[in-house]
């Protein structure tokens, strides 16, 4: 590998890691609080992407206005998922799993019927130029994801540690029964968690709508890597997601560059398979009874 | 630099004079005169009074049929069902879904005349679609549904894995499966026909065209380098082998030949790996439409400076990701012409098809598909028409009943030439694929044109004489990759 290719690959990997982290962080947050996996999380990401398509590409909105709208739409969808699926099924992990799996198909068909099947939706790049650093060249749009991921994840970590509501969320994640006895409104906390997760997915989808091919199949493509990142990082651990995203971003990018994409996916799943017998709770996950 | 089709041709001629390829050979490859091949046929089978609702453009489209007798009354036969078994959703849908429009136009135009006139009866056509999502198992499920529930006689499809999974069932029921790709043709699959979109011939010509537009090895003082990537599926493996064979025959060094997973969502590392080999030509080969758009974006962002070739380019989408000047500078070559390309001429079959399509599916039309017409809109229809021609010819031998698919294929093979939307074609393929189930027709080669901000035809090439001159080298490369028909 030449030094030029090495720098380019590292730049690609950093961008990919940020993208993984931004997609997966909401998924792990919702899991931490609900103790249930939201399989439709990547589909909320997709709704964010379609929101930008509808408002920016079709409606002529400014790109950043459309991304902000995607955040709001994502939060509303998250709230709706909490109210209609997670709250009625609280405590029933299997039912929640099946219900969100069904929701994936509902959202996929909804997007397909509203915005069309087949061709990817064409969303013009707002910044059609590369960002050059040390000879490497990365899409400006991808570079933007890096500070966004830092701000969103950093902000979430600060919120969880420093703010009363954030600490309440952590308390619910650790022991919902005791948290309830302390006067914490569990329903409000789960709604807050899903709203934040939805908002993060929405803004990530909006921001990356010009990077990915926006089709009704987008959510289905992204849920597997997002789940790998969350499982490797530790279900419910935001810090774990960051670490796992970096590992997965580098593994996927380097193996794709040096070998091919098929091998890269196999290696990333192998990393997960090798890690789990050693640390079933993931890299930074907590051991629970 | 001015990007005008004629200028481009002139430049190609000049470059051929520099010694990359003999001028005589090059002129020989440009066998078919452009606009002439697109001119509408005369309308011998059209009676004086056209049925109500049939437009002049639709009459021109129907002029491909040798014996339609438009306006004359004949007894009505039973409805003949035809199937459309393609990806209507998912990343491969770009090669499937749009094809419904062309098939609908053909079926509806035929039905407006009362049906396809075969053996003295008019048979109405009915189209049934099934979404196989580019999944071989779903394709078999779809084939069973189309045949057992709808009794289809003919299926339009994309091909590849789906052609293999459906072949035993469709062979048993003697139903024709029209793939887009002749590499699906095989003596073990007697009802798989192909050749509509002249793949892999066009991919092979990509190597020739790239050679034409590049400086010679002598000028550069080194061999020219060719890199190829596409998604990992049966179709791409087969087509890629033929293209690599042609590139080797053209004197290229093959520096990259890798296939990426169909699950790929991030093309930055794929393109970084490609560019690390410093190729003069990057071929996106059979990359599905959305993949090639993502790769074009990465090629632009990572600063690739060579030539780019591909089977199919959708510039309406690509230009939302890259500047037109970049595409022009890459001399982007593909072989899916636009039917409104001025090359075809103002009074052409292609122009009529474009007009009918726009009136039905264009902006503000009754069935507005919210996009412009693409190469795929006509691509699937390209076999439905010869099948209809074959039915009319075979029907003459057995009046009063619909001919078998065996009779239709036999009739087509006997015809020295029949019209296709790309020009006159004939049945071929035995040498390359072991069976004469492929339509051989002129191959239109396109290049991105900055002024038009779209592709324009720059040459219309005859494949067979060129292939004869390079086949030994090509076959060696194809066999080395295990993709010759005897190896599959």
Are A119 and B97 within 8 A, CB to CB?
yes
Residue B329 CB neighbour total at 10 angstroms: 18
B152-157 vs B176-178, strand pairing mode: parallel
The residues facing B156 across adjacent strands are B84, B178
**Which tokens go with B457?**
């035809």
A209 vs B: CB within 8 A: no
pLDDT of residue B24: 39
Are A137 and B273 within 8 A, CB to CB?
no
Instruction: Give the chain B residue nearest A214 (alpha carbons).
Output: B290
pLDDT of residue B271: 94
- DSSP character string of B188-243: T-TTEEB-TT-TTHHHHHHHHHHHHHSPPHHHHTS--EEEEEEESSHHHHHHHHHH
B277 vs A: CB within 8 A: no
Of the candidates B232, B268, B321, the beta carbon closest to that of A12 is on B268
Contact B175, B191 (CB under 8 A): yes
Are A120 and B289 within 8 A, CB to CB?
yes
Overall size of chain B counted in residues? 488
B302 vs A: CB within 8 A: yes
**Which tokens go with B104?**
């609908």
Size of interface A-B (CB pairs under 8 A): 134
The SS3 assignment for A287 reads coil
**Set of chain A residues whose Cβ sits within 8 Å of the Cβ of B270:** 256-257, 261
- Neighbouring C-alpha atoms within 13 Å toward the C-beta of A211: 28
Residue B67 CB neighbour total at 10 angstroms: 15
B278 vs A: CB within 8 A: no
Q: Tens-digit pLDDT profile for chain A (289 aa)?
A: 788 889 999 999 998 899 889 889 989 988 888 788 889 999 999 999 999 999 999 999 999 999 999 999 999 999 999 999 989 998 888 898 899 999 999 999 899 888 877 667 778 888 888 888 888 888 888 888 899 899 999 999 999 889 999 999 889 888 888 988 989 999 999 999 999 999 999 999 999 998 888 888 889 888 988 898 999 998 888 899 999 999 999 998 999 898 887 788 889 889 889 998 999 888 887 766 5
d(CA B274, CA B280): 11
pLDDT tens readout for residues B366-380: 999 888 888 889 888
Q: What is the mean pLDDT of chain A?
A: 89
This prediction's pTM: 0.81
The CA-atom distances, in angstroms, between B270 and each of A265, B258, B266, B295 are 13, 9, 8, 8
Q: Nearest-CA neighbor of B250 among B277, B228, B224, B273?
A: B224
Low-confidence ranges of chain B (pLDDT < 50): 1-48
Quote ipTM for the complex.
0.82
């Amino acid at each position: 590998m030449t030094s030029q290719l090495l720098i380019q690959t590292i730049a690609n990997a950093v961008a990919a890691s940020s993208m993984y982290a931004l997609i997966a962080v909401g998924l792990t947050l919702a899991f931490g609080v609900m103790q249930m996996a939201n399989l439709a999380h990547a589909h909320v990401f997709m709704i964010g992407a379609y929101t930008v398509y509808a408002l920016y590409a079709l409606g002529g909105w400014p790109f950043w206005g459309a991304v902000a709208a995607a955040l709001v739409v994502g939060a509303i969808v998250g709230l709706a998922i909490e109210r209609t699926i997670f709250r009625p099924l609280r405590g029933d992990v299997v039912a929640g799993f099946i219900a969100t799996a069904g929701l994936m198909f509902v959202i996929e068909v909804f997007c397909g019927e509203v915005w069309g099947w087949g061709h990817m939706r064409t969303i013009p790049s707002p910044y059609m130029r590369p960002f050059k650093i040390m000879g490497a060249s990365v899409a400006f749009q991808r570079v933007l994801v890096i500070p966004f991921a830092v701000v969103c994840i950093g902000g979430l970590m600060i919120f969880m540690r420093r703010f009363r509501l954030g600490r309440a969320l952590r308390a619910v994640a650790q022991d919902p029964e005791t948290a309830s006895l302390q006067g914490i409104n569990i329903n409000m906390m789960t709604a807050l968690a899903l709203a934040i997760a939805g908002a993060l997915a929405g803004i990530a989808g909006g921001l990356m709508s010009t990077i990915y091919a926006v089709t009704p199949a987008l959510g289905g493509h992204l849920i597997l890597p997002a789940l790998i990142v969350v499982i490797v990082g530790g279900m419910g651990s935001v810090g774990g997601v960051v670490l796992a995203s970096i590992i997965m971003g580098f593994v996927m990018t380097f193996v794709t560059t040096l070998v091919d994409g098929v091998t890269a996916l196999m290696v990333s799943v192998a990393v997960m398979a090798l890690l789990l017998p050693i640390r079933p709770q993931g890299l930074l996950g907590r051991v629970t009874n | 630099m001015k990007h005008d089709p004629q200028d481009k041709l002139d430049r190609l001629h000049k470059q051929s004079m520099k010694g990359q390829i003999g001028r005589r050979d090059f002129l020989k490859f440009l066998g078919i005169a452009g606009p002439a091949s697109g001119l509408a046929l005369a309308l011998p089978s059209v009676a004086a009074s056209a049925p109500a609702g049939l437009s002049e453009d639709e009459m021109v489209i129907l002029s491909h049929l040798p014996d339609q007798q438009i306006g004359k009354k004949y007894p009505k036969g039973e409805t003949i069902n035809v199937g459309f078994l393609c990806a209507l959703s998912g990343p491969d849908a770009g090669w499937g879904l749009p094809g419904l429009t062309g098939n609908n136009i053909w079926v509806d135009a035929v039905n407006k005349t009362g049906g396809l006139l075969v053996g003295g009866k008019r048979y109405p056509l009915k189209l049934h679609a099934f979404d196989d999502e580019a999944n071989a198992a779903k394709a078999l499920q779809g084939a069973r549904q189309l045949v057992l529930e709808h009794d289809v006689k003919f299926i339009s499809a994309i091909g590849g894995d789906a052609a293999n999974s459906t072949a035993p069932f469709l062979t048993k029921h003697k139903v024709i499966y029209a793939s887009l790709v002749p590499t699906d043709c095989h003596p073990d699959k007697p009802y798989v026909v192909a050749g509509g979109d002249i793949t892999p011939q066009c991919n092979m010509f990509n190597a020739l065209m790239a050679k034409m537009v590049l400086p010679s090895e002598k000028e550069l003082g080194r061999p020219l380098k060719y890199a190829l990537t596409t998604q990992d599926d049966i179709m791409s493996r087969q087509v890629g082998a033929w293209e690599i064979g042609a590139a080797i025959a053209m004197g290229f060094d093959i520096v990259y030949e890798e296939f990426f997973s169909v699950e790929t969502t991030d093309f930055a590392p794929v393109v970084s790996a490609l560019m690390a080999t410093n190729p003069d030509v990057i071929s996106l080969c059979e990359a599905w439409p959305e993949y090639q758009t993502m790769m074009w974006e990465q090629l632009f962002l990572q600063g690739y400076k060579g030539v780019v070739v591909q089977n199919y380019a959708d510039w309406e989408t690509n230009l939302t990701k890259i500047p037109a000047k970049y595409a022009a500078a890459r001399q982007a070559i593909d072989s899916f012409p636009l039917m409104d390309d001025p090359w075809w001429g103002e009074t052409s079959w292609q122009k009529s098809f474009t007009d009918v399509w726009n009136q039905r599916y264009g902006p503000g039309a009754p069935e507005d598909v919210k996009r412009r017409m693409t190469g795929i809109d006509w691509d699937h229809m390209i076999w439905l028409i010869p099948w209809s021609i074959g039915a009319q010819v075979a029907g003459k031998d057995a009046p009063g009943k619909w001919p078998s698919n065996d009779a239709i294929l036999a009739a087509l093979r006997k015809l020295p030439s029949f019209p296709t939307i790309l020009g006159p074609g004939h049945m071929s393929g035995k040498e390359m694929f072991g069976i004469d189930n492929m339509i051989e027709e002129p191959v239109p080669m396109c290049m991105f044109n900055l002024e038009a901000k779209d592709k324009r035809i720059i040459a219309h090439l005859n494949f067979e004489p060129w292939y004869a001159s390079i086949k030994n080298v090509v076959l060696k490369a194809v066999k080395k990759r295990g993709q010759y028909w005897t190896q599959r």
